[in-house]
Amino acid sequence: MSRIIIFANGQLPDIEKARALVQPDDYILCADGGTRHALALGLTPHLVIGDMDSVTKNELSQIEKNNIPVELYPRDKNETDLELALRHALDQNPSSIVIVGALGGRLDQTLGNLSLLSNLQFSTLDCRLDDGLEEVFFCRARSQVRGRSGDLVSLIPWREKVAGVQTKNLKWSLRNETLYPEKTRGISNEMTGDAAEIEIESGLLLVIHRRQ
């Protein structure tokens, strides 16, 4: 399958920048209240997943009017709606996954969304959180950040130290260094070109790219 876009029920600070993330052949999957973002962008979801507790009557009417399939779950469940949507997305063997609207709002939900991406199931799949202003993903060996000079890039060790960190095209280069989760060495670096390279030897590195 082609790329899957999952709309979550978080915040979208700039609707037009979010619109630029969507490509014509994307498969549109909505996690419950994330349906509002897809509809606001004039998109017709291919599937809505969740307990539907965050979907308004107007949104539900549009879902029914457009014959959009719904995979309904009970409210008393062990997973968030986004986790259920991710599980479905993985079953489709997509080329990549972009989760839109999973940042901002409730801190517990944001941290939970980040934790979902640390799952080993994503070790061979490009899966990112993106709201148009910021993109967030994990580097497990080597990664590339595409943007422009002046964009901010923060490197945050996840749970434990990350060793052998090397970077290219960042203002403050790291050369075979170790980053520790209790220190802020990797915060607020700057891109010096259109693409930055990151490579690590061990650990799990959270990469946050803020577009300027």
Residue 97, sorted as left (phi over 0), alpha (psi -120 to 50) or beta, turns out to be beta
User: Is residue 108 in some structural domain?
Assistant: yes
**pLDDT of 78 above 90:** no
Question: pTM, whole model, 2 decimals?
Answer: 0.92
Distance CA 118, CA 122 (A): 7
pLDDT tens-digit map of 161-196: 999 999 999 999 999 999 999 999 999 999 999 999
pLDDT tens-digit map of 113-143: 999 999 888 888 899 999 999 999 999 999 9
Identity at 46, one-letter amino acid code: H
Residues 110 and 35 in one domain: yes
Residues 89 and 11 in one domain: yes
> Domain holding 92: CATH number?
3.40.50.10240
CA angle 161, 163, 165 (to 5 degrees): 120
Residues 26 and 88 in one domain: yes
Residues 106 and 205 in one domain: no
Q: Is 55 helix (H, G, I), strand (E, B) or coil?
A: coil
Q: Are 204 and 161 in contact (CB under 8 A)?
A: no
Q: Is 104 exposed, middle or buried (0-12, 13-18, 19+ CB in 10 A)?
A: middle
Residues 73 and 152 in one domain: no
Question: Cα dihedral sign for 12, 189, 184, 97?
Answer: positive
Residues 146 and 125 in one domain: no
* Number of domains the chain contains: 2
Residues 123 and 95 in one domain: yes
**pLDDT of 1 above 80:** no
User: Is residue 75 in some structural domain?
Assistant: yes
| End-to-end C-alpha distance for the chain, whole angstroms | 32
Domain that holds residue 15: 4-132
Q: Give the CA distances from residue 9 to residues 62, 139, 185, 187, in Å, rounded to whole numbers and listed in that order.
A: 17, 25, 32, 27
**pLDDT of 76 above 90:** no
The residue with greater pLDDT, 77 or 171, is 171
Q: HSE (CB half, 13 Å, CA atoms) of 101? A: 27
Distance CA 139, CA 191 (A): 17
Taking residues 39-47, report their average pLDDT. 95
Q: Is 129 helix (H, G, I), strand (E, B) or coil?
A: strand
